[in-house]
Structure formats: C-alpha cells, structure tokens
Structure 1
Amino acid sequence: MLRTIFLVPYALPVFASVIVWKFMLGQNTGMINHVLAQLHITNGQTFWLLGNNAFISMVVVAVWRLWPFALLTLMAGMQSIPGDIYEAAAVDGANMWQQFRKLTLPMLRPVDQVLVLVLFLWTFNDFNVPYTLFADSPPASADIVSIHVYQSSFITWNFGLGSAMSVLLLLFLLIVTVGYLLITSRRTQDA
C-alpha cells in the first residue's frame, strides 16, 4: 500500500502534476501559502512563482516528481543484498547502525553511482517542470538552459543558436558524465 502511494508522483503525467503544484503555489489562493499562514510561518502572501522563491519552487516540484524513482532504485538495490550477510554480522555482534554503515552502504555504492548520474542528467535536461510552472518567461532565479534553448529555437526562430546551445549542453553533460564515471570507477578499483 505504501509503495503504491509513494509511486503516485512518478505515475502521474508531468503536466497534470506540475499544474497542480502551480495552483498550490499560487500567491492568493494557493494551499502552500494558506498552510504556512495557519502555522504562523509566513504572512500568507509569499510569491512562490516569482522572484527568488521561483527556483526553490522549481526544485521542490522536480524533487517531488523524481524521488519515487530513487526510492524504487534503492529498494531494488537493498533487496539484492543477501540476508545471510546481515545474519553473519548480527552473530559477530554488529548492531543495526554498524550493519547499515559497514554493509548496506558499501553494497549500495554501485546503485548509488548510477542513480546519482541518472538523476543529474534528468534534472539538468528537465524542460517540462520549469515550462509548465513559468511558461515562456521564467523569473531570473529559475532561468535554466533548457528554457533558453526553447526560447532561442521556437520563440525567436533562431534555430542555429538553439542548436548550438543544445550541442554545447550535450558536450558539457558528456564531459561531466565521463569525469564522474572515471572518478567513481577509480574509487571502486581502490576499494
């Protein structure tokens, strides 16, 4: 039952879920402002989709959308760890914290390496969340590369600039990916 509830953000269509967030983040009628005002945290008039708060809102929505994938991946990795190892550690006197630190985390390292890389690439290339939240003109704090590529290609009809930006983005992500894989494979070999 809990797994099903946790998968809701990942199963919902992107636009439907982000539009719901857009309504919840509204200044006057948004649920977030209402709840924060009831808890006496803010005055209830915060602009979540404008100014410096726009980036925070975009990050919260993106994390909400992607954390179920991370949860599923980590759960699959944890289920692949044999139970005999934990039994042997318990017999040797390891408590739960020591089992987690000395067994679970090291055995999840390959899963974590792939998960961090995939989530980085997905987040860096995300267009749906910022475009649905802010349309064609995001605030300066939430102005990201994917929106610039879209504006250059389809708003100003400068397909050359949009293509060049896309290629440079691809090269940047390729360099980061290769560097990350080299660093993580070197750590694995040293261990």
Structure 2
Amino acid sequence: MASPGHAPAPPPPPSRERGASALRDRVRHAGLPYLLLVPALVLELLVHIVPMVTGITMAFRDLTQEYIRNWGAAPWAGLDNFHIAVDVNAPVGEALLRSFAITCAFTVLAVGLAWLLGATAAILMQDTFRGRGLLRALFLTPYALPVYAAVITWSFLLQRDNGLVNHVLHDQLGLTDAPTFWLVGDNSFVSLVVVSVWRTWPFAFLMLTAALQNIPRDVYEASAIDGAGMWRQIRHITLPALRPVNQVLVLVLFLWTFNDFNVPFVLFGKSAPESADLISLHIYQSSFATWDFGAGSAKSVLLLLFLLLVTAAYLLLTRERAPRATRSRGTRRRKRVHV
C-alpha cells in the first residue's frame, strides 16, 4: 500500500511493449554503423562506380568528337574497339603492345628500387643515434610534397641547358662530354624511373619502419649472442617478419606505379617520348588527342581487366604461400622440441 503523500507507482508495461522497445533499440544500434557509411557509399558511387560503368559502356560505342554532346547517340560498335586494340599486326595494336611492354619494364624497375631503398633505410634507421628523427623527416619529404610541385621541380632540374643535373654532371664533375637530353630520347625512360622512385620509396620506408617496430629487440640480441651477423639477421629474422607487410606493400606500389599518370604527364607534357610512353599516357593520347573516346575506353577496360587478373593471381599466390610457410615453421619448431 502506497504511503500517504505519494502517488502510486505506475504499473509495469506489458511484455509485448517491452519486446517492441527492445527490438527498436536493437535495430537502432545495429543500423547506426550502416547509416554512418552512407556518405562514403554515395561518394564512392558518384566518383568511381558511375564513371567506371560509363567508361565500360563507351567502350562498346563508336564514340568520336561528332557525338560528344550526346554520346548516348553514338552508334553501337560491339567488340570492334577491342579487336582494333588487341590486333598487334595493325599500327594501333602494335603501339599499344609497345606501350604495355614499356609500362611493365618501368613498373618492375620502379617498384623494385622503391622497395629496396625503403627497406634499406628502414633497417638502418632502427638503431638509435643522434639526428635519427631529422633523417626520418627528411626521408618522408618527397612523399609529403604535392605531386605536381615535386615533378615540376624535377622537370627544371633535368633541363639540358640550365638544369642542375647537367650542371653537376657536366660542368662540375665533367662526367659527360656534352649536356645530356634527359627529357627526350632514350634517357627519358631513366628520368621517369628516377622521379617515380624518388616519389614512392618514402611510402615503402614508412610502411616498413612501422612493421619493424613489432619485432622484439630480444630476438636480435639473442641471435647476436649465437654469432649471427647483420646479414643473417636480416635474412632469417627481418625479412620473414616483414613478409605480411611486404605482400600488401608490393601490391599497392604495383597498382600505383602501373596506373601512374601524373608523373609522366607533368614531366613530359601531353606527348611523351617513345621510350617513356606509359600506357596511362598512351590511353590519354588515344582519347583526347585523336578524339576517339570509344577506342580509348576499350583500352582502359583492357587495362582494368589486366590489373584485376594480376591482383587476383597475386592474392591467390600469397595466400597459398602463407599457410605453407606457417606449416614449415611449425614443423621445424616441433623437430627442435623433439630433439
């Protein structure tokens, strides 16, 4: 019985109302993460999905400058644009194949050198010494600079008559008989690789430096007591520990480098020398120089399919090697325990 001066307590809600309220709370809490993802999904749809679908549609049309205002009215070409692109006996297919080969060679050199420089710097920066923080900051400068500002600076440095590179190599050191053309001819490929490596190796350095922090220093100290030198430590401790990070790092560097358009476009302009005719710039020329957007879209679709196949094969290969390496380490560990 309620005490005098106090209202009686309200009766408890029915079980059906309590169940409905709990269900609403559960739905509200479960749907909040998806609601927060809606802006990102909308931007992804507008920035990537819609242009990609539009480009794939354009690849099947005979889209030239006559249909720019209304590209949907362009006649249907079917697979003709793809046949022209892959016909290596014709001038268009031969030029595309040459550009593809140049891009493959450029990617292998740029990714390999960027990873090598990044790994070397990350390993050397592990030991504590005076000025290490300053060196790390300087190493990350190329990655922090805007790409256009950095590449434009390199284009001035590589000028034949008044560039700093020729001033040092020819005027100061006398290593060349005459000033070298770095942005035309066969040397343009070397210049492109140098600029690309300079741009991307700090990212490899940053990723590998973060990964090396997870390796206990006790492991190196124990191996040093057992007589292992620096090279044996790198081979048997550092590189195996970096394998998971390297798998992701190499894939990211490959995709960035193979698709790179900004560096060659800013370095050489709209028309790159033949030795530095990367496929991204080649597709740009096919689309915006000849106004044949159907052929350019077909080449872009072929590039997309190639990158998807390479990425899928790489992921399958690394996924199969990882369990095999884990099993082999477990077998060696059991053998040592048994002995």
Calculate the TM-score normalised by the size of structure 1. Answer: 0.94
- Listed as ranges, the matches of 1:166-185 within 5 Å are 166-185=300-319
* Greater shift in the superposed pair: 61-70 or 106-115: 106-115
Find the counterpart in structure 2 of residue 151 from structure 1.
285
Say whether 1:56 aligns with 2:190: yes
Find the counterpart in structure 1 of residue 320 from structure 2.
186
What CA distance in whole angstroms lies between the structure 1 residues aligned with 2:268 and 2:227?
55
Say whether 1:75 aligns with 2:231: no
What CA distance in whole angstroms lies between the structure 1 residues aligned with 2:238 and 2:230?
10
Find the counterpart in structure 2 of residue 86 from structure 1.
220
- Asked if 2 retains the 8 angstrom alpha-carbon contact of 1:34 and 1:44, the reply is no
What CA distance in whole angstroms lies between the structure 2 residues aligned with 1:45 and 1:28?
7
Q: Which runs of 5+ in 1 are unaligned?
A: none
* Greater shift in the superposed pair: 93-102 or 160-169: 93-102
Change in CA separation of 1:7 and 1:65 when aligned onto 2, cut-off 3 Å: same
What CA distance in whole angstroms lies between the structure 2 residues aligned with 1:171 and 1:4?
38
What CA distance in whole angstroms lies between the structure 2 residues aligned with 1:46 and 1:12?
27
Aligned partner (choices 122, 147, 166) of residue 14 of structure 1 = 147
- Listed as ranges, the matches of 1:5-44 within 5 Å are 5-37=138-170, 38-44=172-178
Find the counterpart in structure 2 of residue 96 from structure 1.
230
Find the counterpart in structure 2 of residue 47 from structure 1.
181
Deviations 1:99-131 (A, max 9, x none): 221111111111112111111110000000100
> Root-mean-square deviation (CA), in Å?
1.4
Find the counterpart in structure 2 of residue 124 from structure 1.
258
What CA distance in whole angstroms lies between the structure 1 residues aligned with 2:193 and 2:231?
31
Residue identity opposite 2:149 in structure 1: A
Find the counterpart in structure 1 of residue 61 from structure 2.
none
**Which runs of structure 1 show a deviation greater than 6 angstroms over 4 or more consecutive aligned residues?**
none
Aligned partner (choices 55, 59, 66) of residue 200 of structure 2 = 66
Deviations 1:2-46 (A, max 9, x none): 111111111111111101100110010111111111222112411
Deviations 1:126-156 (A, max 9, x none): 0001001111111100011101221222232
What CA distance in whole angstroms lies between the structure 2 residues aligned with 1:66 and 1:36?
25
Secondary structure at the counterpart of residue 41 of structure 1: coil
Aligned partner (choices 242, 248, 261) of residue 108 of structure 1 = 242
Residue identity opposite 2:245 in structure 1: V
Secondary structure at the counterpart of residue 249 of structure 2: helix
What CA distance in whole angstroms lies between the structure 2 residues aligned with 1:101 and 1:69?
22
Say whether 1:163 aligns with 2:163: no
Q: CA deviation at 1:180?
A: 1.6
Give the length in aligned residue pairs: 191
Q: CA deviation at 1:183?
A: 2.0
Secondary structure at the counterpart of residue 34 of structure 1: helix
Find the counterpart in structure 1 of residue 46 from structure 2.
none
What CA distance in whole angstroms lies between the structure 1 residues aligned with 2:286 and 2:230?
54
Of structures 1 and 2, the one with the larger relative CO (CA 8 A, separation 6+) is: 2
Q: CA deviation at 1:164?
A: 1.2
Aligned partner (choices 137, 140, 148) of residue 271 of structure 2 = 137
What CA distance in whole angstroms lies between the structure 2 residues aligned with 1:95 and 1:106?
16
Change in CA separation of 1:44 and 1:4 when aligned onto 2, cut-off 3 Å: farther
Q: CA deviation at 1:159?
A: 1.7
